[in-house]
Chains A and B, each alone.
Chain A
């Protein structure tokens, strides 16, 4: 009898834990979905708003016969719209469950980098081990990792004036290194790029580091070995 009750208790306990884990997972999925919806709304909403403002500004310029200014604004509107298309592409890509392997993520990053660097005559090196590339990532992880790498790559392409950029993917860390101008971190303007990279790294559970010396290039590193706990 005692044995019977004990068994029953254990089964009830297991069932309870399983239900709990399942409900937690559903809750987590829900959170991720809400997050993505919010981000999408905020990103695309802001871009479309600015396009609406730009057209208003261009109309005003035309009324005042400032044709050149108007032309400039209209071309800006085009750029902004294209930017929105790019961001939208990214978001749809994050959501697609076919892209849940590290391999898919880095092939997208590689495409982005090669295109950007080719336009500027920068040589791009990409080092990775095939067997490290099967790691599975959830939507949020893909998004954070992709946007950190994209930011670092864009910065190298636009500001570093470098000749070579390396992207290293190891089991314990990811590193993006250029041989460009470098900058004084203390003096750098505090834009959102750097701040967002830090926040995203934190949410990935990785340690973010940025090393730069004037004249000696810049290194961005995501370290998964000494993680910040979520």
Chain B
């Protein structure tokens, strides 16, 4: 079984180059090459890839927006960003949108082929500078002084933790062994203690300020 690869890049020659490079590789096959992200989900559905390779700046299309769209439907499909841009905004936005790897276009061909296999088998291949950036960002986040704990009760913290893990109200109720209504009441209290108005805000605050 060869690895099915789908590529989005607004450069004809990049698409062609990927095709040529995998031509004699029994382990890999380019099953889709697209110059933009029009009919994005339809094209993915049709080509049924194992790995996606995604450019960022494609004229009228943007690869990071595309990753967000894809993640609404395909939670697990490995996505490898492939771009010339290594600025913080692009790197972090791509990773936050759900990309699994981030390679710069100056990467040598062999490493790229290895990275495609890596991302497919659960890895997160990054160009060296990019990986360092992410580590630094992470360290900056975790070295922040711990903020006031907003006087959340143990139960409220537990529920907030569940929310940051992506659980729905129903799932939280099951997890904590309490009723749906009780979860709602707790969450209302959490909102008012954290001074937030939405779940996203609550989760962001919980993570940024290391409340949970």
Q: Give A residues with C-beta under 8 Å from B.
A: 38, 41-42, 45-54, 56-57, 60-61, 64, 66, 69, 73, 76, 80, 83, 190-192, 195-196, 198-199
A interface, over-half SS? helix
Given A46-B9, A52-B109: A57 and B23 within 8 A (CB)? yes
Give the Cβ gap from A166 to chain B, nearest Cβ, in Å: 27
Interface residues of B in 11-38 (CB under 8 A from A): 11, 13-14, 16-18, 20-21, 23-24, 35-36, 38
Report A-chain residues with C-beta under 8 Å of the C-beta of B17: 49-50, 53-54, 57
What's the Cα separation between A195 and B10 when bound, in Å? 11
Across the interface, A57 reaches (CB within 8 A) one of B20, B35, B108, namely B20
Residues in A neighbouring B36, C-beta threshold 8 A:
190, 192, 195
**Contacts of B24 on A, CB cut-off 8 Å?**
60-61, 64, 66
Do residues A49 and B14 form an inter-chain contact, with CB atoms below 8 A? yes
A57 to B17, CA, bound (A): 8
Nearest opposing residue in chain B for A83, CB measure = B13
Please report the C-alpha to C-alpha distance between residue A69 and residue B21 in the assembled complex, in whole angstroms: 12
Q: Does B84 contact A (CB under 8 A)?
A: yes
User: Can you identify 17 A-B contacts, CB atoms within 8 angstroms?
Assistant: A46-B9, A46-B10, A46-B11, A46-B55, A47-B11, A50-B16, A53-B20, A53-B109, A54-B13, A56-B109, A57-B17, A57-B20, A60-B24, A61-B24, A190-B38, A192-B10, A192-B58
Given A38-B57, A192-B60, A199-B59: A80 and B109 interface contact (C-beta under 8 Å): no
Enumerate chain A residues within 8 angstroms of B105, measured Cβ to Cβ. 45-46, 48-49
How far is A50 from B107 in the complex, measured between Cα atoms in Å?
Answer: 11
- Judged by a CB distance under 8 angstroms, whether B74 is at the interface is no
Q: Is the CB of A192 within 8 A of B59?
A: yes
Q: A46-B14, A192-B60 are in contact. Are A53 and B85 (CB under 8 A)?
A: no
Is the pair A49, B106 in contact by a Cβ cutoff of 8 Å?
Answer: yes
A-B contact sample (17 more), CB < 8 A, given A46-B105, A56-B109: A42-B57, A42-B85, A46-B11, A47-B13, A49-B17, A49-B84, A49-B106, A50-B16, A54-B13, A60-B21, A64-B24, A66-B24, A69-B23, A76-B16, A192-B60, A195-B60, A199-B60
Q: Report B41-67 CB contacts with A as 1/0, cut-off 8 Å.
A: 000000000000001011110000000
Taking a contact as CB atoms under 8 Å apart, the answer to whether B14 and A192 are in contact is: no
Residues from chain A with a CB closer than 8 A to the CB of B16 are 50, 76
B108-147: which have CB < 8 Å to A? 108-110
A52 and B60 form a contact (CB under 8 A): no
Of the candidates A49, A73, A83, the one having the most CB atoms from chain B within 10 angstroms of its own CB is A49
Assembled-state Cα–Cα distance A116/B10 (Å): 24
- Counting chain A CB atoms within 10 Å of each CB, the highest count among B16, B18, B20, B60 belongs to B20
A204 to chain B, nearest CB (A): 15
Q: Which residue of B lies closest to A41 (CB)?
A: B84
**Chain A: minimal CB distance from B19 (Å):** 9
5 interchain residue pairs of minimum CB distance? A53-B17, A45-B84, A50-B13, A56-B109, A46-B11
Give the nearest-CB partner of A55 in chain B: B109
The complex places the Cα of A80 from the Cα of B14 at a distance, in Å, of 10
Residues of chain B lying within 8 A (CB to CB) of residue A199: 59-60
A73 to chain B, nearest CB (A): 6
Which of A45, A66, A190 has most chain B Cβ within 10 Å?
Answer: A45
Q: Is B21 in contact with A57, judged by CB distance below 8 angstroms?
A: yes
Q: Do A46 and B109 touch (CB < 8 A)? A: no
| Minimum CB–CB distance for B74 against chain A, Å | 22
Q: Is the pair B13, A73 in contact by a Cβ cutoff of 8 Å?
A: no
A46 cross-chain contacts in B, Cβ below 8 A: 9-11, 13-14, 55, 84, 105
A41 touches B14 (CB 8 A): no
A60 and chain B: residue at smallest CB distance: B24
